[in-house]
Structure formats: structure tokens, C-alpha cells
Structure 1
Amino acid sequence: MIIVPEREIAGLITPEAAFDAVENVFGAMARGEALNFPVIREAIGHADALYGFKSGFDRAGLVMGLKSGGYWPGNADKGLTNHQSTVILFDPDTGRATALVGGNLLTALRTAAAAAVSIRHLARPDAKVLGMIGAGHQSTFQMRAALAQRRFERVIGWNLHPERLSRLQEVAQEHDLPFEAVDLPQMREADVIITITSSFDPILMSDHVADGTHIASMGTDTKGKQELEPALVARARRFTDEVAQSVSIGECQHAVAAGLIGADDIAEIGAVINGTYPGREGAREVTLFDGTGVGLQDLAVAAAAVRLAGEKGVAIEVDF
């Protein structure tokens, strides 16, 4: 078995590599060549943590495995990231465990890559203003990946605790872009909005979003979580990584429960990537990507990490 420790991931997987891996696996899912298995994710009744498993099998890439982990909200006080995870890969021909890969940075990179994929394929080409809602650990990864997709000229941001927006301001400064902390109604100035929070109540309302905006909703990955008003979800053309997750644990769960939309009203982003389903159809159309986070994303970037670790001589081999 090969072990790729968490400390090695930053030197192996670039945002560009994560983007390519996620885009490819979304395409494979839409072609029926990759199967994502149902998510197990529960509150464990300890440390306010959410814990679970995501798994799948990519027949095209011959990658099979699972990610185990979750969200521990008290970790920041311990000097740890709130999201903790580990990826295990298996040989699809024999079922033997082949690799153990640190999953914390990979999770941030693949989540940001998914939003970036949606921006590349769904946002208006002339998008100039990026709106960020949420300033937690993953927000800077999201922002950097998004800035690579369009020629943004300005960034605006909102967070429940405004003092934490300084980390987004620093990223904007890295890219020589002005940054402004705003109230939620001012999100109407944004052409692209990324929501990356752990909220269980709607934050972004339909009145906060102008026509022509692309929204990447990346925080809702558990039953009950919610970032968007259901009326906003119903107003938009909806795309997702996997429809089954979107209606059960993703942002669309609430609009479905309210009877505003059904599963048939949501398209796979992979079909847009493959050219078998239309993406944005007009400059005034609001598009929404419901990024629920599929296990296949984690497996794709973990497999890339294992390959690169072997090439660079940083993989640890153990008998198992």
C-alpha cells in the first residue's frame, strides 16, 4: 500500500490539476462511466461533529475508493482545520487497498475546482465582479480558483463575522483587485456569487441577485443545510454534480420540499461539459450550480496525488 501524507499534498496537486480531475470526472458521470454511491453523513452526538463516507467507482479512470471524514466546528480552537478527511483507494480488479491519502487539502482543492468548473461553463464571459459569501477555511481556495476563470475587476464579500473577511481581502490584494465588504443586498453588483458557508438557514435571497448572475452554492452537503432562498433556486436554471444528492442533501432539497421544482428540473454539469446539454442560454439568465460534493471528486484528485507522489519519490510504501 502507498501512503501519501497530508504534508505532501500541497507539493503534488495544483489548483489546475484539481480542476482537470474534477472536470473529467463530471464528464464521466454524465456519460454513465462513473458511479457515485449514496452518501452516509450524520451528526455523531460528540463535539458537534458531522461524520460520514463518500465513495464511488470511475470505470473510465479505473479509480475506486472512499473518503471518510466530516466537519468538526471546534477544530479551529485546536489549531486544526474544521474539515478532516482521509481517502482510501482500492484496486478495482481485486478489491485490495492500494493507497491511503491525506484528504484535508484535497477536499478544499476539489471543492474549489468544482465551483471553478461551473464558472467556466456557466458564467457570462463578460463577468467582472466576483461576490463571496463566507470567509471560512475553504473560502480562499474558492476565491483563487474562481479568479482564474474570468477577468474579474473587483471582489465583494459578506460574512456573518465581518472581521474574517480580511483573508479574502488578502487574496484580492494578491491579484491586484479591489475588495469591498458589503451587506447582502449589495450582492446584486456581482456577476458571479460563490456561497461557501455551513449555514442551516437561507442567507442569499432572490432580491439579492441580479439577472445574468451565476451562483455556485458550495456549502450545502447535508440534509437541513441551506444557503439560498428556495425562490432563488426556483428562479435559476439549475445544474449540479449529481441530481440524487442535489435533491436529498444539496441546496435544491428545500425547493423540492416546497414543491417549487422537481428532480427533472436539475441538470448534470457533466452533460454541459460533454456538450450534450445546453449551458447558459442568455445574458439575463440566472444560473445555479448546486455543488453537493461527490465522492468521485475526491477519488479523482487522490488518484492524481498517488501518481505524482510516485513520480516525485515522496510516496511511502508499506506492507498491508
Structure 2
Amino acid sequence: MLPWVSLQKSAAEITKGDLQVMTLSETDVIKLLDMQALLDGLAEGFRALARGEVQTPDRPEITIPEKGFLLSMPAWRKGSPVMVKMVSVFEGNLERGLPNHLAMINLFDPQNGAPLCLMDGTYITGIRTAAAAVLSVREIARPDARVATVIGGGVQGREHLRLLPLVRDFDEILIASLHFEDAQRLAERHPKAKAVRDVEAAVRRSDVVCLATHAYQPVIHSDWVRPGTHVTSVGYAPPQGELPVALARDHKLYVESDASFQAPPVGCGELQQLDPATAIRLGDALVGRAPLRTSDEEITVYKAMGIAMEDLVAAELVLRRARCKAAVSTAVF
């Protein structure tokens, strides 16, 4: 054979062909994602992030003036598929009967870059944000915490109510909302939940306070929070936001990453005037590089923005279970 003759096909002869790509709807994702597995997976994801094992490049943004914006959120770690989530935030969607956050997640084979799965990311975006906050409750709140207050009767309020009972045996979960009727409807979802009108009274007797609103200004006062309370905040509504700056400034603050201190929409409006060096990355605390709770009297605060590592963890859990189910359904007995 002549030395320049090759039996290998040229690039011009190679096509993708009938490459199968799994597609999963929001209904599929909801059925496949296990809540306890998500909490445990996020804990390990934060540890991997602290060890430098997760790639999370900056997320580019497209802004549609007076409408909304769209972010691309990529992430990868060894042993996982490559993930890219596209998420849009359009404030006017609720008036159209659509969620104001909509997302799709793409997963790719890290060996060859081939697409593996296209799944709806809207549910994952909501649940992973709440799960990261509730993970902070699991790891940082006092072990004897018995009363929780959730402020917000929307998607995040719903997901917090679903997840909080998995990490503490609460006697009561108090629900407050801008519209009391929303709090009442949400409270019907759990036997220990109760809708309340007096937010201050609820916060003053709570061991855990979860802010889950779309408020453009603080929804509580820092002096309502009693010693020993753990406060979480997942709301995004710059320039101010739902969390009193004094709570983040004057007490032990935990964040997902230093990106939390960037300008919105990447970072949190409430943290813009704070020094990132004063905060503790949750992953650093979970690997033992920084403290978790050190006394029953200290107030601790967790401010979340949502990062791509969380989407990667959730999407990989969904893909794994989807593949297992597919294998079982196609097995020959």
C-alpha cells in the first residue's frame, strides 16, 4: 500500500448520522429528580467546587431592553457530562401565564462532545436554588431548630416548603406572603405549615428564616432576627433585594462563590457594597477550610444566587435515573 493511501474516512465523508439524543420534558424531570439525592449531590458539588474540580466559566448575557435577559451557564467536572444551561428571566411572563424563569439544559459527552440529552431546565432552576439554601439549613442551622418561617408564596416558597422537612424535624413552618391568600394556598401543601399575617412576630420566634420573594427592598428588619437564627435568601430583584444588608454585613455570611459579589444579574444586589473576603464559601466550610456554626447564639446568613454547578448536579441525577429506567424498560427477560 502506498504510504499516502489511508483506509480511514476523510472529514468530508464523516457525518453525525442517526445520533440519538435523549429528550426530557419538565414532567419527566420532576418524576426523575429525587430530593434527598439532590441535597446530598449538592453537598458533594460544593466540596468539589472548593477543591477546584469544577469548571464554571463566566456566563455571557443577552439583554432585551425593557423585556428581560438570557444567560448561558456552562459547567463541567471530571466524571460528569458537560452541561450548558440557557435560562431566560422575563419579568412580564407571569401576566402571560408563563414562569418568569424559563430554561433548557444541554448535556454533552465529555469524551467526544456529542450531545447526550436535552432536558427542560425550568423546574431544575427552581428546585436547585431552594435545595442549596436548604442544604445550608442542614449544615449550619442549630440542630434543635424547631420553627421555620418561609417568606414568599411563589415557586421558591413552594420548593422550600417541600425541602425543609427533609433536613430538620420542624414543629411549625410559618408561611408569609405579600398576598395572604397565596400563603394560605401554599400552607395547605404540608400538615405542619401555617399561613401567617404578622411577619415580624413569625421571624422573632423562628430558628430558621427563609426569604424567597421577588421583593425589590428588604422584607424583614435585621433586629427582628433573634440570636441563634439561620437566615437564607434566594430572591433576585436588584438594586436592593429582599435581604437587609445589615444582616449580611454584621453576621457570619455564607455564599456559593465569589461571583455573588459581582454586579447583577451574575451577583447579588444586597452584596454589592460588601468585601468578598468577609464571606465564607459554603464549599470551603464543607471541606473544613472554614467554620460552620460555632455557637448556639450566633446569627448565620446564607445568600444564594444560583450557580451552574447546581444545575450540573441536578441534571446529572436526572440523566442517570432516566438511563436506568430506559435500560430496565428495554431489557429482554
Percent identity, aligned pairs only? 28
* Residue 94 (str. 1) matches residue 112 (str. 2): yes
1:211 to 219, 227, 237: 227
Tell me what 1:243 maps to: 258
Residue 233 of structure 1 is matched in structure 2 by 248
Give me the whole-angstrom Cα distance separating, in 2, the residues matched to 1:246 and 1:139: 24
Q: 5 Å matches for 1:255-274? A: 255-257=271-273, 261-274=274-287
Name the larger-Rg structure.
Answer: 2
Unaligned 5+ residue runs, structure 2? 1-20, 329-333
Contact 2:184–2:194, Cα closer than 8 Å, also in 1: no
Residue pairs, 1:1-320, within 5 angstroms = 1-41=21-61, 43-45=63-65, 48-59=67-78, 61-171=79-189, 174-184=190-200, 186-220=202-236, 224=239, 226-249=241-264, 253-257=269-273, 261-313=274-326
Q: Is the 8 A contact 1:122 1:280 kept in 2?
A: yes
* Aligned counterparts of 1:158 and 1:93: Cα–Cα separation in 2: 48
Q: Per-residue deviation at 1:82?
A: 2.7
Residue 242 of structure 2 aligns to a residue whose secondary structure is strand
Contact 1:242–1:292 (Cα < 8 Å) also in 2: no
Q: Distance in 2 between matches of 1:76 and 1:255?
A: 27
Counterpart-to-counterpart distance in 2, 1:118 and 1:276: 16
Q: Which amino acid aligns with 1:289?
A: Y
Question: Contact between 2:157 and 2:212, CA under 8 Å: does it hold in 1?
Answer: yes
- In the TM superposition, what is the alpha-carbon distance from 1:42 to its structure 2 partner? 5.6
Gaps of 5+ in 1: 316-320
CA distance in 1, matches of 2:247, 2:192: 32
TM-score, length-normalised on structure 2? 0.84
Q: Is this contact kept in 2: 1:240–1:269, CA < 8 A?
A: yes
Structure 2 CA distance for aligned equivalents of residues 256 and 32 of structure 1: 25
Q: Higher mean Cα deviation, 155-164 or 29-38?
A: 155-164
Secondary structure class of the residue paired with 2:125? helix
Shift of 1:223: 5.3
| Shift, 1:188, TM fit | 1.6
1:176-198 C-alpha deviation (Å, 9 max, x unpaired): 45443323354121111111112
CA distance in 2, matches of 1:226, 1:77: 21
Residues 228 and 251 in structure 1, CA contact (< 8 A), matched pair in contact too: no
Is the CA contact (8 Å cut-off) linking 1:195 and 1:218 kept in structure 2?
yes
CA RMSD of aligned residues (A): 2.3
Equivalent residue letter for 2:281: E
Aligned equivalents of 2:142, 2:134: Cα separation in 1: 13
CA distance in 1, matches of 2:267, 2:184: 27
CA distance in 1, matches of 2:61, 2:213: 17
Task: Judge conservation of contact 2:175–2:193 (CA < 8 Å) in 1.
Answer: no
Q: Which amino acid aligns with 1:303?
A: E
Higher strand share: 1
8 Å contact 2:293–2:300 — kept in the other structure?
A: yes
Match of 2:8 in 1: none
CA distance in structure 1 between the aligned counterparts of 2:170 and 2:258, rounded to whole angstroms: 30
8 A contact 2:261–2:272 mirrored in 1 = no
Larger displacement relative to structure 2 (72-81 or 17-26): 72-81
Amino acid at match of 2:105: V
Measure how far apart 1:314 and its partner are.
9.2
User: Structure 1: which amino acid aligns with 2:124?
Assistant: L
Asked if the contact 1:127/1:192 (under 8 Å) is kept, the reply is yes
**Match of 2:242, as an amino acid?**
E
Any conservation in 2 of the 1:115–1:146 contact (CA below 8 Å)?
no
In structure 2, the partner of 1:318 is none
